[in-house]
Amino acid sequence: MNPRLASLRPYPFERLRSLLDGATPPAGLKHIPLSIGEPRHTPPPFIAEALTAALSSLGSYPLTIGLPELRTVTAAWLERRFGLTAGSVRPDDMVLPVNGTREGLFAFVQAAVDTTRARAAVLMPNPFYQIYEGAALLAGAEPVYLDCDPLAGYLPDLDAVDAATWNRCQLLFLCSPGNPTGAVMPEAYLRRALELASRHDFVVASDECYSEIYRDETAPPPGLLQVAGAAGHGTFERCVVFHSLSKRSSVPGLRSGFVAGDPSLLAAFRLYRTYHGCAVPVHTQMASIPAWQDEVHVRENRRLYREKFAAVVPMLREVLEVDLPSGAFYLWLEVGDDEAFARGLFVEQHVTVVPGTYLARETARGNPGRGRVRISLVASVEDCVEAARRIVAFVKASR
């Protein structure tokens, strides 16, 4: 088998399972899992209705390029959402449906990395979504981790990377709002990434799957295509963005997203996908069309997350320092020994959270996840409040 498979690291949830192995939480306390970033709000009913109405399509193979209606709707959504000039996102060659961003992110790296060039590198934030690393390793590139420093707003310092590393860089991953930090990359930051990409000739892959989950209704997070468009990059040279319905519409099981950007990159990616056989099923595409056309359910989704942050953050602040993140649905808390905290909280209070060290890698400055845990506010308001109450009790008891 492919020897590169041996370089893959255990997934954070596998490590969490080992950490909690043999632990026996109090039998009378209901389990509250706040570890996985799996949205649990009720999705709008019209998505399931459109899905079932499209089941007659099961008799046809889907095309890799996707349905023209879906491509038109997603291109129009990008233009509306990011204030792009009408017609600047061409549905025919600038968007492609994917089976969720996880699949798209992974597959894109396989198509993008050129191992005939020496010491291919894929740069990524640290902590990060583990698919970036696995995709880089399997493609034969070296993952290079850029620490997200809390003092720099949890944004990797692009200017701290030396020119030799940029010259080896074939792809830079950005994630905004970030998982697990919730940090939003401002326009100036994205512009800087694009300048570096032009100077050193690499691709910027912007994971924007949390772009619709933000706190301030008047300040949606900017996107890479928006900045590229404003900078005069008419065909979004070297840029690809990844969007998903999983978080926006709370349908992680639908497996629906899209990739958009530079048509020359998408043409190669489309060719790759044809052979990989990862065309999005027609019924999934049909269910996705109304989801990208409606913003009412997305605003309601944000309201529910806002309600949870408003309830939970003041409670936790009684015992811990808590930053309110600009986007996504995580708290990235400083707790001391993160593994001991996660295990203790499970054993004593039956609440599951992820140790930060599992979500990041050791660099010269240590592991930027050490001493933190990630808490996903995906459960109901009542469960999140109950979990916060138990976390407070746990912290007080362990002092």
Ligand X SMILES: Cc1ncc(COP(=O)(O)O)c(C=O)c1O
- Calculate the alpha carbon distances from 203 to 77, 136, 196, 206, 217 in Å: 23, 13, 10, 10, 31
Q: Min. distance of Cβ 341 from ligand X in angstroms?
A: 21
Q: What single string gives the DSSP state of each residue in 222-252?
A: P-HHHHHHHTT-TT-TTEEEEEEHHHHSS-T
Question: Between 64 and 179, whose beta carbon lies closer to ligand X?
Answer: 179
Torsion sign across C-alpha atoms 113, 115, 120, 124: positive
Question: Between 247 and 308, whose beta carbon lies closer to ligand X?
Answer: 247
Question: Between 226 and 256, whose beta carbon lies closer to ligand X?
Answer: 256
Q: Min. distance of Cβ 179 from ligand X in angstroms?
A: 4
Identify the CA nearest to 185 among candidates 158, 217, 218. 158
Question: Between 171 and 395, whose beta carbon lies closer to ligand X?
Answer: 171
Q: Min. distance of Cβ 375 from ligand X in angstroms?
A: 14
How many other CB atoms sit within 10 Å of the CB of residue 85? 10
Identify the CA nearest to 310 among candidates 209, 247, 249, 388. 388
Q: Min. distance of Cβ 177 from ligand X in angstroms?
A: 9
Q: Min. distance of Cβ 30 from ligand X in angstroms?
A: 24
Q: Min. distance of Cβ 84 from ligand X in angstroms?
A: 22
16: left (phi over 0), alpha (psi -120 to 50) or beta: alpha
Question: Between 100 and 222, whose beta carbon lies closer to ligand X?
Answer: 100
Question: Between 102 and 273, whose beta carbon lies closer to ligand X?
Answer: 102
The residue with its CB nearest to ligand X is 100
d(CA 38, CA 54): 25
Report the interface residues with ligand X, using CB under 6 A.
Answer: 37, 100-102, 129, 175, 179, 207, 209, 244, 246, 252, 257
Question: Between 38 and 382, whose beta carbon lies closer to ligand X?
Answer: 38
Q: Most distant CA pair in the chain: distance in Å?
A: 62
Q: Min. distance of Cβ 280 from ligand X in angstroms?
A: 12
Structure tokens at 88: 């600047």
Using an 8 Å Cβ cutoff, are 56 and 283 in contact?
Answer: no
Q: Min. distance of Cβ 182 from ligand X in angstroms?
A: 11
Q: Rg of the chain over CA atoms, in angstroms?
A: 21
| Residue 83 backbone phi and psi in degrees, to 5 | 60, 35
Question: Between 226 and 246, whose beta carbon lies closer to ligand X?
Answer: 246
Identify the CA nearest to 107 among candidates 278, 284, 281. 278
DSSP β-bridge partners for residue 149: 155
Structure tokens at 322: 């808590």
